[in-house]
């Protein structure tokens, strides 16, 4: 058996709940809803309402690694990068 056949066979034994290629599960707290013209309609709170508000694990496009420069994530990111607003 060659190496490619062995890798293909090993891939079939991975769990079925793995994210699709180029996607990952990340914690998402809020959703900014936009109108067709691009203006903000509302901001939805997606956190679970238990003792401590915890973000939901959602399937999103794979995170871009930012070491320097601008590398936005597709349709998601942290508030300081997406909105230009920090807690300070």
Q: What are phi and psi of 69, to 5 degrees?
A: 85, -170
The pTM score is 0.63
With pLDDT > 70 as the criterion, what percentage of the chain qualifies?
91
pLDDT of amino acid 24? 87
Nearest alpha carbon to residue 64 among 78, 79, 85 = 78
**In terms of Cα–Cα distance, which of 65, 62, 78 is closest to 30?**
78
Whether the pLDDT of residue 15 is over 90: the answer is no
Q: Give the C-alpha separation, 55 to 10, whole Å.
A: 33
Q: Taking a C-beta distance cutoff of 8 angstroms, is the pair 73, 63 a contact?
A: yes
């Amino acid at each position: 058996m060659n190496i490619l056949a062995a890798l293909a066979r090993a891939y079939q034994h991975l769990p079925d709940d793995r994210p699709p290629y180029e996607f990952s599960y990340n914690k998402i707290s809020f959703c900014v809803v936009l109108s067709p013209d691009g203006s903000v309609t509302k901001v939805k709170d997606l956190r679970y309402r238990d003792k401590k508000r915890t973000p939901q694990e959602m399937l999103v496009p794979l995170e871009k690694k930012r070491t320097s420069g601008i590398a936005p994530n597709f349709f998601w990111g942290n508030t300081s990068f997406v909105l230009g607003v920090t807690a300070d």
